[in-house]
Every structure is written in structure tokens, then in C-alpha cells.
Structure 1
Amino acid sequence: MLLVLLAGLAIFAKAQHPFDDLPRWDFWSPLAGGARFTGRYLSSEPGGIHLKRQSFEPIDLFQLREDKPSTNALLYGSVLLDPIFPADVTTDLAVQAAFQAAVGSIKTHANVHVSPEIKLVQATVFPLKVTGDNGESEMSILQDSTGADGRMYRFVSHVTFGFNFYLTLEDAKFNLIHRVVVALDREAEHNVFQHTFSPLEKGADEETNEAVECGLSEDECSAAPSGPRILSYNVWNTNPSSDVYGAGRRWDQYAKRLDHLVEFVKEAQADIIGFQEVRYDGVFGDPANHAQVKHLADRLPGYQYVYQAAMSYINSRMPHERIEEGPSILSRYPVVATDYLLLSRDPNDPNDSHQRLCLHAVVDYPRWGEIDVYVTHLSLSERSREQTKVEIWEYMRQGKGKTQVLLGDLNSEPQSLGIRFLSGQAELLGQTTDMKDAWLEVHKEAKPRSTDPDDRQHKFTFPSDNPSKRIDFVLYRGEGRVKECEIIGQEPTKDTKDFPDDVGMLHASSPVYASDHRGVIAEFK
């Protein structure tokens, strides 16, 4: 009887794991018949009920060490945190390729000198392993392919989007330390997601330090304002989709919209910018040109930039497709440190389905000091927004800058409890803040849903074609007062300004606005 039972269990176990003997290919050379997803998930299928809610700690991926691991399960969105620490960065071919891509990008795009002696001193590699169950397990799928012999072959694939390389470079000749994030996608193309630089040794070369602080231009340095101009702008990712203009026209229309947005940014003369909804779209644009942060950085030369994906959009029918979105920080002046905090969420709440985070950069502003810049884009769930606003406040209290600013599309109106909490007017979950709303320092609040033309034109930030609410903010604490605060980005492109404004922005005959949101610029003194 026991032997029969054991035999039955063995048959059951084999039936439970019918694909254990198949080869595992996470990446593969070109196959004669191509690789096809069978539609079968072997683990971590997306869209199910999540049994575990994650908790997170702030993380600086440049400072992560093998002997000091993070407790976070997620790197971001639907990607697991599973770093690799190369034993020798000089012999690791993948790291060296990323290093060459970083140096090439710096030489081409950055307003900074690079010597032939620039060297790579540290690298951490993050395989972008996908999870469909909020970090509980790694996603694996069944694939098949037709061989040259006409037969069908099957293999198992653990879904991986690619790799992110966090590189620290030192250039002793120019006394600079560079921190660069290079992404390697499944097309085997490199994209630069971050480039910041600052003096390697403060005070070692005052001329170099001054040049770094002032964008390598004495005129720019002498013209630097007494106080920073800080902008928050939701860029509306890569909208509109192909459904609006058709696939053939989409790129040109997107580029036209982004050019229009950048015109407003340049006119605002922002020193520090917090962008939201910055997207990497692996199915939009040519190879090596999928990263929206690159589209923005190329149009805004002279800015250092940081980007961190927050959410992933998993295509259940094409799980290797990489589309993700998050905030970005751009600065004319040295970014000396960066980190971020993944915010808590209820993955079973449809209004809280996307992972959110708060991105932080420390900017060394000339003649002012260090400014803590925080950028976020909050949930559609009010309950989640209230919880994460408290988390952001606790995160900000760890900063040490003379001034702290919180920028973002907060998906909340001024009269909400969450905004009154952030602007120091109400208690939330037993806590209070000492922050101020930069807008209210120089303006009166418009009545909710006001139809007054002046309110609609100058006091509301969303939506651009029918403005009715203020949900985009510059909040601050610490040193400095608000000199002025204005809303920008109201007008559509000149060639579409006479198009009908009542058809909705996702219509081919709508005026082309810079974004569905307007920007908010505050100058401090």
C-alpha cells in the first residue's frame, strides 16, 4: 500500500512540474522561427490577488553594498531588487560596455570636459527581473520556437527587461566625480537614465569647483539669480497614443508637443525641474531612443538629470514588453546625491494599482547651499494619498538641505485634507508639517471649479484644455521666501490654437497643448 501511495505521489509531482526538464533561456540569440509566448505562465502571473503588501526603506543605489543589503523586495514597479556586485569592473565585459556608453554620452551631451584618463571606480548591476505578484516571486513563462528542421521546440523564460548599470566615474584631471545610470535593453541598446557630476574633492581646485557650479560659463555664473527658480511639470508621458494620430504620425506629433513643452521650460528659466510621468516605452521610437528622459535632456542641454522608474505596465500577452514611468529631476547645478523612497500601496485596490515613489536629489546651489528636491506623482486612491503623504513627510525630515521643496502632481485639490496637511494647515495620522504652499504665498486660492476666465487661465493646472482644478504643487520648508509663483504652459501651439477646444485632448482635431497639466514655477529669495 505504501509503495502504491509513493508511486502515486511521484506521478502527481511529475504532473505538477511538466516543464522542469526544458531548457531555461532568459536571453537568446536570433532563432530561425523566432520566440513565441505560448500564453502560459509558470509562475507569478500578473493580474491576480496579491497576498502581501510591501514595506520600503529609502535607497541610494549608488551606495548599495553586498555586505549592507536593502530590505526592499522591489527595485521599482514590477521589478525585483536583486543586485550584482562585479568582482572586477575592469574585466567585466558588460560593465565595460556600459562604461563606454556612459563616456560617449557625457562627451556628446554634457556641458563638461572629459579627459582620456577618466576611470570607472565602482559599478552595481541590476538585472530587471519581472514579478507579477508584487515581489512575491519571479515571473516565468513558457515559450516555443520553430527550429531550422521545422520542429517545434519549447523553453522556459524568466522574464527580464534588461539591466541597469549604476556607474561611478572619476576624472582626476578635471577634479570631477560622475554618477551615471546606463540601461541595457533587450534590443542590446544602451540608454542613459542619469548623469550627474560634482567636484571630486571640494576645495582642491576652486576654479574647477566654480566652473561646475556655474555650468562652465563665467557669464552664466555671474548671472546666476540670488535665489533658485524651481519648476514642477507633469509631461503627460508619450501621449497621445497611436489611436489618435495613427502610428505613422505619432512620433512627429509627440516631438511637436515635447518641443512646445520645452519652450515653456526655457522661458521659465528654471534652475531646478521636477518632471512627472517620464516614460520609457520600448515599443515607441527607434532602437536606443525609447527613453523620454533622453528626449528631455537632449532638448535641455546644460542640465544634470536623474530619472527613476516607479511603475511598470505589464502586457500580459507580451510580458517582455518594457513600458515604465516615473519622476525625473533636472538641475543646472551639481547634484551631489540621489535616492528614492518607494511608497506603500494596496495592490488589490484598482485605484492604487501602480507603484509610486518619491525621488530625491540634493542640489548644491551657488551662494545658497544644498537644496533637497523631492518629486512625486501620487495615487488615484485618496486613502493611499493620505498615507503616502505622511510617508513623504517622514522621508523629507531625514534631509539636511537649507531648503526643501516637494514638487509634483499630487492628484489632490487644495481643500483636501492631504494638501492641508502638507501645507501645514491640518493634522493627518497624528502628524503635522511646517511646509508652505508656494502658490498661496503670493496668490489667493480660486474657488473650486470656478468659471472665472482669470481663474481658469492663471490659477488652475489641470486639465489644460478645460482647466478646473489646481493639483500640481511646489511646497517648501526651510530657508527662503517666495518671490513669485506662476503657472505656465497655458497656450497650445500657434498652428493649432484655432482648433476646436471642446473635443478633448485625445482627439486628432484638438489643439496641441504642451501637456494635459500645466507647470508651476516658483522663484525664491
Structure 2
Amino acid sequence: MVFWRVVFSVWLTIAVSFSALAGDQREPEHARSEVTNKVYQTDNAPSLRVVTFNMAAGRVGSLAELAKAMVALDADIIGIQEVDNQTLRSGGVDQAKELASLTGFNVEFAKAIDFEGGEYGLAIASRHPIVATDLLPLASGQEEGRVVQMAKVSVPEFEHPVTVFNTHLDTSEDPQLRLQQTRQLNKWTMNQRGIKLLLGDFNDVRQSATYKELKRYWKDTWNNKSNERTWPASNPEIKVDYVFTSPAQQWKVVKASLPAEDVRLKQIRWPEVTDHLPVVVDMILLEQ
């Protein structure tokens, strides 16, 4: 009897270990994709303007001011962090729906947590149709719940939808939870094929372990040697907001900028709208 218990125990250990290992493998089904390699010439390459910005749940500026800022950004796709949906502090307003009404953008909300009688989370806005959405909850321990939002956007000139991931990582000074969240994010996004972008407020700087972990699978679009600081908007100290592309594609970044470098965006009083400056990236797709 003892012998069979030992045999069973060994078998169970092997089975569990194999199952855990298999879960971390890149299986053949993960490699399947409708997106085949294609090279574009610069003069006929598809172009995209992508933005990420944290709207502070409308606690700095009104939704009307935020909508005006979104329109001024003139973006194809905007990843937005800190969005309220029918919370007490926001007067029960569905902010994503209201911004869609005010701007004419398609806006999809993704809940991170229940908050003050409503929900709080992320949103992806696009002037083009959003054809699919998904959500990945991230490990958050006893801290605020965090998620990764996904949206597939059908952009003219692109042969396939652009898959956009939007996130807002943990704020703790200790980076361990943020690193865990980044590894979850990397694993989920690496097993999804397509033309991929990652946007968000990562709550960490370039010199951090979080940034190094992200750079394993993502390429930072910031090629501007001038001031890159995004927070706080009134007198920025650090850069925590980023736009990344997947190494599966080759992009030419035409311009990566902050509002001070754009005549139209200078007209928006950003510190009166939100506490983060938006990161604006213009780029063209050279290799699909």
C-alpha cells in the first residue's frame, strides 16, 4: 500500500510539473496568424497617430475640456487611463460613453475595480471601428486592482486590424508587484499574433526593472532627445507614460512628442485638463 502511495505521489508531482511547464510554453497554436510578412515602401506605407494619456478620472478638468483635448490630439487611437463609470465622485456619469458622444470617437471602457457605486478602469478611443475587445486581470495582491485592456481596431490602409493593449500598472515604490504584472502582460500579449501596440501609464522610469522587463518583448517609440517627462503635467519630473510597438513589425517613427512641441496642442492648458501630459506618436508601418 505504501509502495502505491509513493508511486502515485511521484506520478502526481510529474504531472503537475509537466502541466505547469506546458502552460509556459509557446505552443504551435500560438504561432498561427493571418498576418503574413509584408514590406512597404515609405511613400505608400500605412500611417498611424497613437496617443496615451491619463485623464485622472475627470478630477482635474471637466469632461468637456477632456473631449476638446482628445479632438485636438487628432489621433487614430488613444489609450486612456483612470476612467470612471457611474461612480459617486464623478456624479454617476459613464465617462467613456460621454467622451464618445462629445468627440465622435468610438470608446470602449474596461473595468479594473468596483469603485464608489460604479466602476473604475481604462478606455481605448479610436476614430476607426473597434471590432473586438478583451481583458486580462493582473496580479494586484492587496493593492488596487489592475488590468490590461485589449481592442482590435480596423484602421483604413491596414490589411489587418491593429491590436492595441492599454494598461495602468501598480504605483508602489517597491517594484516587485509591477514586475509581476509586467511578466503577466508579456506572456499574454506574446501569445497573440497580429499588428500589436502597447500603451499606458506604467508608473516607472526608463532606468527601472519594469522598463527592462517590457523591453524584452516591446520597442519604445520615443526617439525624441528633448524633454520626455510626462508627470506631473504642471511641472513634469519623470516619464511614466509610453507607447511601445511589437518587434514583429518595423515602424518608422516620424515624430514622438509632447504637447509643447505641437502648435495645436499648445493651445490646450494641459495642467488644467489632467495631471499627465499625453505622449503623441506619428509613425508609418514599413514591415507588417
User: What interval of TM-score do these two structures reach, taking the shorter chain for normalisation?
Assistant: 0.7 to 0.9
What are the superposed Cα offsets for residues 21-64 of structure 1, whole Å, 9 maximum, x if unpaired?
Answer: xxxxxxxxxxxxxxxxxxxxxxxxxxxxxxxxxxxx9xxxxxxx
Structure 2: tracts of 5 or more residues without a match: 1-22, 24-44
RMSD: 2.5
Partner of 2:278: 519
Secondary structure of the structure 2 residue equivalent to 1:461: coil
Q: Which amino acid aligns with 1:483?
A: V
2:64 is the counterpart of 1:259: yes
Q: In structure 2, which of residues 112, 129, 152 is the aligned counterpart of residue 362 of structure 1?
A: 152
**TM-score normalised by the chain length of structure 2:** 0.74
Q: CA deviation at 1:334?
A: 2.1
Secondary structure of the structure 2 residue equivalent to 1:262: helix
2:177 is the counterpart of 1:384: yes
* Cα distance change, pair 437–512 in 1 and its aligned pair in 2 (3 A): closer
What are the superposed Cα offsets for residues 385-442 of structure 1, whole Å, 9 maximum, x if unpaired?
Answer: 11111111111112222x211110100011111112212xxxxxxxx32x21111xx2
2:177 is the counterpart of 1:374: no
Q: CA deviation at 1:226?
A: 3.2
Q: In structure 2, which of residues 223, 226, 238 is the aligned counterpart of residue 469 of structure 1?
A: 238
Q: Which amino acid aligns with 1:325?
A: Y
Query: For the residues of structure 1 that align with 2:231 and 2:109, how far apart are their CA atoms?
Result: 24
How many residues are matched? Answer: 233
Secondary structure of the structure 1 residue equivalent to 2:57: coil
Q: Percent identity, aligned pairs only? A: 28
Q: In structure 1, which of residues 431, 443, 448 is the aligned counterpart of residue 224 of structure 2?
A: 443
Partner of 1:327: 122
Q: Which amino acid aligns with 2:282?
A: E
Secondary structure of the structure 1 residue equivalent to 2:242: strand
Query: For the residues of structure 2 that align with 1:338 and 1:411, how far apart are their CA atoms?
Result: 24
Query: For the residues of structure 1 that align with 2:73 and 2:242, how far apart are their CA atoms?
Result: 16
Q: CA deviation at 1:512?
A: 5.4
Spell out the pairing of 1:281-292 with structure 2 (5 A cutoff): 281-284=86-89, 290-292=93-95
- Contact kept? 1:310, 1:324, Cα under 8 Å: yes
Q: Which amino acid aligns with 1:272?
A: I
Secondary structure of the structure 2 residue equivalent to 1:308: strand
Structure 1: tracts of 5 or more residues without a match: 1-56, 58-224, 241-253, 314-320, 348-352, 424-431, 445-453, 495-510
Q: Flag the structure with larger Rg.
A: 1
Spell out the pairing of 1:197-212 with structure 2 (5 A cutoff): none
* Cα distance change, pair 387–491 in 1 and its aligned pair in 2 (3 A): same
What are the superposed Cα offsets for residues 150-196 of structure 1, whole Å, 9 maximum, x if unpaired?
Answer: xxxxxxxxxxxxxxxxxxxxxxxxxxxxxxxxxxxxxxxxxxxxxxx
- Work out which structure has the larger RCO, using CA pairs closer than 8 Å and 6 or more positions apart in sequence: 2
2:182 is the counterpart of 1:396: no
**TM-score normalised by the chain length of structure 1:** 0.42
Q: In structure 2, which of residues 122, 128, 136 is the aligned counterpart of residue 341 of structure 1?
A: 136
